[in-house]
Amino acid sequence: MRHGDKINNLGRTKSHRVALLSNMATQLITYKRIVTTLAKAKALRTYVEPLITKTKKVESTEQIMHNHRLVFSHLQDKAAVKELFTVIGPKVAARPGGYTRIIKLGIRLGDNAERAMIELVDFNEIYGKGKGEAAAPAKKTRRSAASKKKASESAEEKAPAADASPATEASTDSE
């Protein structure tokens, strides 16, 4: 019986599965997207997203070094860890999870396996539409609606003052 056993073993032993996921995570971090089978992509998502979350905790230098060591223990690749903390980490700092996207690609000829592309969400130029800049994490505040009204009223008062200033427009003759 396999009650409560939610891990997909991928038809491999534990050591082989850990090596497979580590190598696939390294390639995903390096190339930002990889094509694999759907089952491996889903297993990789649960493996790599906690590693990406570890790059966001930057309270102290000890915390950063500790997270570097934790991630390195999973990936065993210095270049991938450096890429993860210097390039990917700042870009996903504002995102509250869901760093990867899985897109189904159809079946593979030969063995009829479902193929899928797994990619990092913030590194796709097609779907991103200019969200590539690193954003500061959103601050959670408990401000009332009254303070928002005051801010909008003060902005409206400043707007007519800007209209009152003399406009400097250059006129061109097209005749």
Residue boundaries of the structural domains of the chain? 14-128
Name every residue whose Cβ is closer than 8 Å to that of residue 23 and which is 6 or more positions away in sequence.
Answer: none
Second-level CATH architecture of 14-128: Alpha-Beta Complex (3.90)
Q: State the pLDDT at residue 129.
A: 59
pLDDT in tens, the chain (175 residues): 889 888 899 999 999 999 999 999 999 999 999 999 999 999 999 999 999 999 988 889 999 999 999 999 999 999 999 999 999 999 999 999 999 999 999 999 999 999 999 999 999 877 755 554 555 555 666 766 666 666 666 666 655 554 554 444 444 444 4
Q: Given this model, what pLDDT does residue 167 score?
A: 47
Q: What letter represents residue 31's amino acid?
A: Y
Quick one: pLDDT at residue 166?
Answer: 47
3-class secondary-structure state, position 101: strand
What pLDDT score does 158 carry?
59
Q: Please, which residues have CB within 8 angstroms of residue 111's CB and are 6 or more apart in sequence?
A: none
Contacts of 129 (CB under 8 A, 6+ apart): none
* pTM for this model (two decimals): 0.71
Separation CA 155–CA 147 (nearest Å): 12
pLDDT at position 150 is 62
